[in-house]
Amino acid sequence: MAQGKQYKDNSQKYDRDRLHSDEEAIAILKSLGTKNFDETVDLVVCLGVDPRKADQMIRATVALPSGTGKDVRIAVFAQGEAATAARDAGADFVGGDELAAEVEKGMTDFDLAIATPDMMPTVGKLGRVLGPRGLMPNPKTGTVTPDVAKAIEEFKGGKVEYRTDRFANVHVPIGKASFDEAALLANLRAVVTELDRVRPASAKGQYMKKVVISTTMGPGIRVDPAKIAAGVHD
């Protein structure tokens, strides 16, 4: 994909090969020109794990203290009282078999799916649709739960899911370009602290190999893992 003039101009405003502290990286990102929309700020962390091994495949959630800046659309597979609770909590789509039928036909106008445990036999049949989009509910991420109202509140309030891809990278949106530096910094540190917490015991050598932040359309800014919140992440 061809890179625009703004991208090239921004790339020349700082040393792209240098490892910056987290505060420096956020300050650089905030100083760069952005497009005429509120770009998402993305964090990518390359981990020293082998995602082909089950005990090194990382998938969980982290609460971003500053929120995501995004209106999260949530579909809830539930019936009866749980369905009522989901609607009251602000779920965008709620239903049982009828919602499953819509999704099976290709309706995926949501960012997150939550299900009560009793609905999983039905939801499990939607793997072909939900799986490739990363939308399949999972107990590990709190998206299979009897307390759907609490889950909706948490995810709409800034809780995000993360997982390693097949290259051992973790991609997490940590806010919007319009966020102030303190808000972005708090979110970045929350993610790094969480990744430290879930470090697999079997992961050997350097754990955080590469940390990069960028806006949706902007160049990457390298962050020194050892200079994040004064911690050492090796």
Residue type at 5 in one-letter notation:
K
Write out residues in the chain with pLDDT < 50, as ranges.
1-2, 230-232
pLDDT at 232 (0 to 100) = 44
For 107-130, write each residue's pLDDT tens digit: 999 999 999 999 999 999 999 999
| pTM as predicted | 0.82
For 34-49, write each residue's pLDDT tens digit: 667 889 999 999 999 9
In the chain the domains, ranked by start, together with CATH numbers, are 10-68+159-227 (3.30.190.20), 74-156 (3.40.50.790)
End-to-end Cα separation, the chain, in angstroms: 34
Other Cβ atoms less than 10 A from the Cβ of 107: the count is 13
